[in-house]
Amino acid sequence: MAVYTDVSDEALRAFLSAYDIGALTAFRGIAEGVENSNFVLRTTGGTTGGAAGNAKGGVAGSDFILTLYERRVNPEDLPWFLGLMGYLSDHGLSCPRPVAARDGAALRVLAGRPAAITTFLPGVWPRAVTEAHCGPVGAALARLHLAGQGYDAVRPNALGPGSWPGLLDSCRRDGDSVQPGLVAELDAALAEILPAWPAPGALPRGQIHADLFPDNVFFLDGAVSGIIDFYFACTDILAYDVAICLNAWCFDAQGRFDAARSRALIAGYESVRPLGEAERAALPVLAAGAAMRFLLTRLYDWVNTPAGAMVTRKDPLDYLPRLRFHRAASAGALPGAADHGF
């Protein structure tokens, strides 16, 4: 859940006084987002451009999101994240736009945490993914990739393949408590995936979202109305972002691959940015790697979180059927997309 830090009345008042967004009229903690504390902030509306709704002083006011960045986010990365969001927003992507205070700075401090106000996006994230969502989300991902091309600053992917052996090592002692044999299976999968991983420069790179799960994509009337939560974004292989989405959107609740959703997602993506031959051929190993990445970070959290801690641990085993599928579909010889239907 998503209010780890609460904000005192006086601190909030002082914080908002730095902005030209009008007077506070409502303030509610929101339950979504796992890493940070988020609040919906309503004001009477101000002079800041880009606010949702009728920001120019309409009676119903303007809504914003106030985010306090908690310990999972490295404060040194925040200028890059906020810069990317502003850039993508300026280039036509519907994503949260950081709102600058009067002094020009969007990244500030509140309640001892780095904090920023961003615009509120309309829409509802899909609780039950269907094939109909997959085309629009693929297209939105491609638009994100194209829009990000002019954002030059590089942020390496701290959770890329180079990090996976170390993550697995730190789960080696306790990993089998989650499922017997798990560590050996992940060792074998890593030994298959890492040598097959695309060489630097082999595939187009750029700014990727790297966490485009359904709860980060808002829909309105069947179209994508917003993409949120850029706090895993980084500079990496664009097709890896597609592979992350394949895992996040194209498996059913029982962990079974849904080829129709996959085809729809890729077709949606290619309606905006066609994949090259090399990208398409690499999708199986990228998808296996994407499954490995989420399995490992969830496993790390699982074995390193005290059982009584008041946090939601996501089940690492959700990602085991995905990993197995990508390995089996490639018949032990990644890459190779025989049964993927890619």
Q: Which residues are at the interface with a copy of itself (CB under 8 A)?
A: 1-3, 6-10, 12, 24-32, 40, 42, 53-54, 58-62, 120-124, 126-128, 218, 220, 307-308, 310, 312
Q: Which is nearer to a copy of itself, 124 or 278 (CB)?
A: 124
Q: Which is nearer to a copy of itself, 6 or 169 (CB)?
A: 6
CB atoms within 10 A of CB 23: 12
Q: Which is nearer to a copy of itself, 67 or 207 (CB)?
A: 67
Q: Does the CA dihedral 204-210-213-219 come out positive or negative? A: negative
Q: How far is the CB of 9 from a copy of itself (least distance, A)?
A: 6
Q: How far is the CB of 14 from a copy of itself (least distance, A)?
A: 13
Helix 320-329 / helix 277-304 crossing angle, nearest 10 deg: 150
Alpha carbons 300 and 243: distance in angstroms, whole number: 21
Q: How far is the CB of 122 from a copy of itself (least distance, A)?
A: 5
CB atoms within 10 A of CB 6: 12
Alpha carbons 341 and 297: distance in angstroms, whole number: 28
Helix 277-304 / helix 182-196 crossing angle, nearest 10 deg: 150
Q: How far is the CB of 310 from a copy of itself (least distance, A)?
A: 7
Q: Which is nearer to a copy of itself, 28 or 256 (CB)?
A: 28
CB atoms within 10 A of CB 331: 11
**Could you tell me the CA-to-CA distances from 306 to 147, 300, 310 in Å, in that order?**
41, 12, 9
Q: Which is nearer to a copy of itself, 58 or 92 (CB)?
A: 58
Q: How far is the CB of 59 from a copy of itself (least distance, A)?
A: 6
Q: How far is the CB of 113 from a copy of itself (least distance, A)?
A: 15
Q: Which is nearer to a copy of itself, 129 or 296 (CB)?
A: 129
Q: Which is nearer to a copy of itself, 18 or 30 (CB)?
A: 30
Alpha carbons 80 and 96: distance in angstroms, whole number: 14
Q: How far is the CB of 266 from a copy of itself (least distance, A)?
A: 23
Alpha carbons 289 and 296: distance in angstroms, whole number: 10
Q: Determine whether 189 is exposed, middle or buried from the number of CB atoms within 10 Å of its CB (0-12, 13-18, 19+).
A: buried
Q: How far is the CB of 305 from a copy of itself (least distance, A)?
A: 11
Q: Which is nearer to a copy of itself, 123 or 336 (CB)?
A: 123
Q: How far is the CB of 10 from a copy of itself (least distance, A)?
A: 7
SS3 for 221-275 is CCEEEEECCCCCCEEEEHHHHHHHHHHHHCECCCCCECHHHHHHHHHHHHCCCCC
CB 236 within 8 A of CB 208: yes
Q: Which is nearer to a copy of itself, 7 or 287 (CB)?
A: 7
